[in-house]
């Protein structure tokens, strides 16, 4: 016959088991709810929706800039500024640089990142993605950026004052995504340059929101993947070493990927330059970009 104290202890243990089970269930619920929310947010790519800051404020077109429009494959009308090369004869077919601009604002805020190129014998086209500036209002995502850049590329090749085989691509910050991927998909693009571009969506998200950031934004259409598809075409990477928005390690990752793939890559680091001031406070950065396109677009190819 069991001792009374032993019986009491056994009953107490039995009573405690459901309590412990309920506690475990509650803990699992507490943990799983945010996990499920994070999973759902990642599935909807919620993080990317928070990335874009387009401006649709009105602005004037500077004298000498040509307002142009064209359509993308989705039927949206996109607005752009065509900046003729300085001293170009009317209708003269010259090389052109297609400028895929950065995140916030519209063409009026970004033209200064490429207008200096017109002094080096090339035209420039800077355009607004859908949802930006005077372009049609529509939902923005990375696939849309690429589609709009490809539409701008096709438009440029249709112009009689553009040499269709000498259209260089220039991606600034976020614009590095569509510029690099458009070049990777189009072998006719002879040269590509980026300014302050990031290496991957997950990596730049992790810089600003460790652990959680990469969980909220999907991989895909990452610049580092496009770089590996450039083949023998020249690539220039320019970055400021004081960049607080896209940190300098992104340029190193992109350059390493290019070298591993056999892509001829050149890098330029602007000492003390931050993300948005690099072109305006560090002349060597704009000179590096201008020299690059002058070499690979305006110099006739070797026979």
pLDDT in tens, 246-288: 999 999 999 999 999 999 999 999 999 999 999 999 999 999 9
- Kindly report, residue by residue over 132-186, the tens digit of the pLDDT: 999 999 999 999 999 999 999 999 999 999 999 999 999 999 999 999 999 999 9
How does pLDDT run across 197-224, given as a tens digit for each residue? 999 999 999 999 898 888 888 889 999 9
The two structure tokens encoding residue 67: 């307002």
pLDDT band at 33 (very low <50, low <70, confident <90, very high): very low
Least Cα distance to 143 among 78, 251, 220, 198 occurs for: 220
pLDDT value of position 21: 56
User: What residue spans define the domains of the chain?
Assistant: 4-43, 55-298
70/278 Cα distance (integer angstroms): 30
- pTM of the prediction? 0.85
Q: Is 256 exposed, middle or buried (0-12, 13-18, 19+ CB in 10 A)?
A: middle
**Is the CATH code 3.30.70.20 the one for domain 55-298?**
no
* SS3 label, residue 142: helix
Structure tokens at 273: 């330059």
Q: Is the pLDDT of residue 296 over 50?
A: yes
């Amino acid at each position: 016959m069991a001792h009374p104290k032993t019986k009491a202890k056994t009953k107490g243990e039995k009573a405690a088991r459901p309590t412990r089970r309920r506690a475990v269930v509650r803990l699992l619920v507490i943990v799983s709810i945010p996990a499920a929310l994070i999973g759902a947010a990642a599935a909807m790519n919620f993080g990317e929706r928070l990335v874009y800051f387009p401006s649709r404020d009105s602005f004037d077109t500077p004298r000498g800039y040509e307002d142009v429009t064209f359509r993308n494959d989705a039927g949206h009308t996109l607005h752009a500024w065509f900046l003729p090369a300085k001293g170009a004869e009317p209708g003269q077919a010259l090389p052109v640089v297609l400028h895929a601009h950065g995140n916030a604002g519209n063409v009026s805020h970004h033209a200064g990142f490429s207008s200096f190129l017109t002094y080096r014998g090339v035209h420039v086209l800077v355009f607004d993605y859908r949802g930006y500036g005077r372009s049609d209002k529509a939902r923005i995502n990375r696939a849309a950026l690429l589609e709009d850049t490809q539409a701008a590329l096709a438009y440029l090749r249709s112009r009689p004052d553009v040499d269709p085989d000498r259209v260089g691509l220039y991606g600034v910050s976020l614009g590095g995504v569509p510029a690099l991927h458009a070049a990777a998909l189009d072998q006719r693009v002879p040269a590509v340059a980026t300014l302050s571009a990031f290496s991957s969506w997950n990596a730049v998200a992790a810089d600003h929101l460790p652990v959680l950031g990469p969980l909220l934004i999907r991989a895909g259409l990452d610049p580092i993947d496009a770089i590996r598809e450039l083949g023998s075409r020249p690539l220039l990477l320019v970055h400021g070493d004081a960049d607080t928005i896209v940190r300098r390690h992104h340029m190193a990752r992109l350059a390493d990927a290019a070298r591993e793939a056999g892509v001829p890559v050149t890098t330029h680091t602007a000492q003390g330059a931050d993300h948005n001031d690099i072109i305006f406070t560090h002349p060597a950065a704009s000179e590096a970009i201008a020299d690059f396109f002058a070499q690979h677009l305006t110099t006739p190819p070797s026979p």
